[in-house]
Amino acid sequence: MLDLTDLSSGYGETQVLHGLSLKAEPGRVLAILGRNGAGKSTTLKTIMGLLPARGGSVSFGGKKLTGLAPFDIARLGIAYVPETRDIFRSLTVRENLDLAARRFPCPPGGWTVDRVVDLFPRLGERMDNGGDQLSGGEAQMLAIARGLLMNPRLLILDEPTEGLAPIIVKLIHAKLAELKGDGLSMVLVEQNFGFATSLADDVVIVSRGTIVWQGSTEAIRSDVEAQHRWLGV
Amino acid sequence: MTADLGFWVLQMLNALQLSMLLFLLSVGLTVIFGLMHFVNLAHGSLYAFGAYVAASLAGVLGYWGGFFLAPLAVAAMGAALYFTLIRSQRRAGPMAQVLITFGLIFVAVDATRLVWGDLPIGIAVPAVFEGQLSLLGVEYPIYRLFIITLGLAVLGVLTLILSRTQIGAMIRAGVDNDQMAACLGINVERMFFLVFVVGCALAGLAGAVAAPVLSVTPDMGLQILIPTLIVIVIGGLGSLKGAVAGSLIFGFVQTFGAVLLPTLSSVLIYALLAAVLVARPQGLLPAKG
C-alpha cells in the first residue's frame, strides 16, 4: 500500500537518503531497522512531506504523495507518531485528542475518544492535564491515541520505545500487538531489535540512506551475520 | 501631587488606554509571528492606514462608518499584501522578510503622503462619547474610556476563541508545533492567512479608534512600531497572555514614567526591555514552555 521508489532526501546541504526503495503491505507491520543516522527517521519525514523528496517517489494506495503538503498526506490516511511525540504543550490531553478526532470522520467501529481511553486508561485520568504535564510514557500513549483518532489506513511510528521505562515499553508493545491483531497496517522504526521483531511481519534494514537487507522477521532473527553487520546486535 | 488619589486614577486610566491601543496592535503581530515565525514590520503601517481610512470615511459616513469599515479595508489590504509579497516570502527566512516589510513601511509613508498630504488630519469624537465622565473625583473623557472598554472586549473575545473553540485549539497547536499540526490534517497555511487578516483588521481597528485622540500623520505607523515590538518582545513572542502583559507593562511604565520620573522616562522602557532580554530572553509569558 505504501511504495517508496528510489527515494532521495535530506536536510539542507546534507543528503541522507540515497535511492531508498521499500514497500509496506496492507494489514502487515513493516519494521525499518538500522543504526543511528542510517536514515530511518528521514524516511518517515519524507513520507509525511515534512522533508521534500529530491528524487524518486512515494505513493500510497496508488496515489502519488511526493510534492503533497503534510496535511494532504494526513487526510489521505497516514497517521504519524514522531520520535519526539510532539504533544501540543498548550493544549490539554482532551484538546490534543479532540484536535485529531474532529478533523477525521469516524467510520462505523472506528476509533473514538472513548475507545482510545479504553485502550490507554491512563489517558482518561489525565484528560484535563496540560500537554506539558505528562510523563514520557503518557506522552507516547497520547501520541499513539491521537494518531488512531485519525482513523488512519496506515500508522507510522518513529521509535515508540525510546526513553521509556521497561514496564511502559511492555505496555506499548501489548497495545501495538492488539492493533496489529485488529489488522491495522503499520510502519515501525525501531532501535530495539527485540521489540521490533516481535511485532513486525516484514523487516528492512537501512544503512547510509539505502536498503541493505529485506526479508521476513523469521529470516532476520536467524540471520546472525546480517544482525551483526548492519545492526550491531 | 502624588498624594492625590485623583492623580493616580487619572494616570492609571491614561496608562490603560495606551495599553489597550498597544494590545490591539501587538496581538495580531505576536500571533502571526508565533504561528509562522513571520516578522511583519509593516504592521504599524496597517494601523496608520486604518487611521486614514477612518478619518476619510468619518467625513462622509460619520465616525461609525470609519469605525466599522476601516478594519475591513485594512483586512483587505492585508489580504492583498499576503498574496503579493508575504506568501512568496514565507520560507525565505527572517532577513528577507524584515527587509521586505521594512521597505513596505517607506512605501506606505510616501503613499499616504501622496494621497492624504503631509498635514495632520483630525477627526471628531462620536457624539455619544463626547464629554467627560466623573470617576473617583476625576473628570475623564468618555471616548478614552470607550477605548479601554473596547480593548478589554477584544481581549475577552480573543481569549474565548483561543481557549474554548476548535479553531482556537488549532491556532494554539500551530503555535506550539506547526509541523505536527500539519501532520494532523490542519492546513496551517490557510490558518495563517486567516490569522494574518484578522491581525490586520485589529491593527486597522486600533488606527480607527486612535484617530480622534492622536493626530493622524503619515509617520504614525512608524512611531507605533517600536512600542509594539517592545510589547511583544517583553511579553514573549507568539503568546496572547504575553501581548496583554507586555501592553500593560509598556502602558504603565511609559505613562507613570513620564509623570513621576520625567528625566528618565524615555530611557525607562528600554532599560526594562534590556533587563527582560537579559533575565528572560524568551519574554515574560512565552508561548512555548
For B195-220, the pLDDT digits (tens) are 999 999 999 999 999 999 988 999 99
State the smallest CA–CA distance between residue B175 and chain A in angstroms: 9
Confidence (pLDDT) at B89: 87
State the smallest CA–CA distance between residue B166 and chain A in angstroms: 7
Cα A36-A38-A40 angle, rounded to 5 deg: 90
Question: Whole-model pTM?
Answer: 0.89
- B4-51 pLDDT, tens digit each: 888 899 999 999 999 999 999 999 899 888 887 888 899 999 999 999
Max Cα distance, chain B (Å): 60
Cβ <8 Å between B177 and A88:
yes
| Closest partner CB to A82 (pick from B176, B180, B287) | B180
Q: Does A1-77+189-233 carry CATH code 3.40.50.300?
A: yes
- B61-81 pLDDT, tens digit each: 999 999 999 999 999 999 999
Residue A166 CA to residue A172 CA, distance in Å, equals 10
State the smallest CA–CA distance between residue A153 and chain B in angstroms: 14
| Closest partner CB to A88 (pick from B173, B185, B187) | B173
Q: Residues of B numbered 169-188 whose beta carbons fall under 8 angstroms of chain A's beta carbons: which are they?
A: 169-170, 172-173, 175-177, 179-188
Confidence (pLDDT) at B94: 87
Cβ <8 Å between B169 and A146:
no
Cell numbers linked to B126 = 462620536
pLDDT digit string (tens) for chain A, length 233 residues: 999 999 999 998 899 999 999 999 999 999 999 999 899 999 999 999 999 999 999 999 999 999 999 999 999 999 999 999 999 999 999 999 999 999 999 999 899 999 999 999 999 999 999 999 999 999 999 999 999 999 999 999 999 999 999 999 999 999 999 999 999 999 999 989 999 999 999 999 999 999 999 999 999 999 998 898 888 86
Confidence (pLDDT) at B289: 44
Binned at pLDDT 50, 70 and 90, residue B288 comes out as low
Interface test with B, best of A99, A146, A155 (most B CBs within 10 A): A99
Query: Looking at the predicted complex, does its ipTM rise above 0.90?
Result: yes
Domain residue limits, chain A: 1-77+189-233
Cβ <8 Å between B185 and A150:
yes
- Bridge-based pairing of strands A78-81 and B138-141 is unpaired
DSSP string for residues in B194-232: HHHHHHHHHHHHHHHHHTTTS-B-TTHHHHHHHHHHHHH
Cβ <8 Å between A71 and B185:
yes
Cβ <8 Å between B184 and A146:
yes
Residue B23 CA to residue A161 CA, distance in Å, equals 44
User: What separation in angstroms does the CA of A170 have from each of A29, A139, A195?
Assistant: 18, 15, 9
Contact B120, B211 (CB under 8 A): no
Cβ <8 Å between B187 and A71:
yes
State the smallest CA–CA distance between residue A31 and chain B in angstroms: 21
Interchain CB contact of B124 with A (< 8 Å): no
Contacts of B169 in chain A (CB under 8 A): 91, 95, 98-99
Sign of CA dihedral B52, B57, B60, B61: negative
Domain residue limits, chain B: 21-218
Q: What is the DSSP letter of B82?
A: I
- B163-177 pLDDT, tens digit each: 999 999 999 999 899
Classify residue A67 as exposed, middle or buried by CB count within 10 Å of its CB (0-12, 13-18, 19+).
exposed
Interface test with A, best of B183, B186, B189 (most A CBs within 10 A): B183
- B124-166 pLDDT, tens digit each: 999 999 999 988 888 999 999 999 999 999 999 999 999 999 9
Question: Which of B3, B289, B54, B6 is closest to B172 using CA atoms?
Answer: B289
Contacts of A89 in chain B (CB under 8 A): 176, 288-289
State the smallest CA–CA distance between residue B150 and chain A in angstroms: 27
Contacts of B170 in chain A (CB under 8 A): 99
Residue A25 CA to residue A190 CA, distance in Å, equals 18
Contact B203, B28 (CB under 8 A): yes
Helix extents (H) in A6-102? 40-47, 70-75, 93-101
Residue B82 CA to residue B196 CA, distance in Å, equals 8
Confidence (pLDDT) at A24: 96
Confidence (pLDDT) at B28: 87
Q: What is the mean pLDDT of chain B?
A: 92
% of chain B beyond a pLDDT of 90: 77
Cβ <8 Å between A103 and B179:
no
CA A154 and chain centroid, separation: 9
Cβ <8 Å between A104 and B186:
no
| Closest partner CB to B176 (pick from A89, A98, A146) | A89
